Amino acid sequence: MERTLIIIKPSAVKRDLIGEIIHRFEIKGLQLCGLKMMQLDDKILNEHYAHLKEKPFFQRIKTSMMATPVIVCCWKGVDVVNLVRRMVGPTNGRDAALGTIRGDYSVSVQENIIHASDTVENAEIEIRRFFRTEELYDFEQLNPSVLYAEYEK
List active site positions: 115
CA gap 38, 54 in Å, rounded: 26
Nearest alpha-carbon partner for 122 in 1, 2, 36: 2
CA–CA gap between residue 103 and residue 105 (Å, rounded): 6
The C-alpha atoms of residue 76 and residue 111 are separated, in whole angstroms, by 26
Distance between CA atoms of 153 and 140, rounded to whole angstroms? 12
Tally: H helices and E strands in the chain:
7, 4
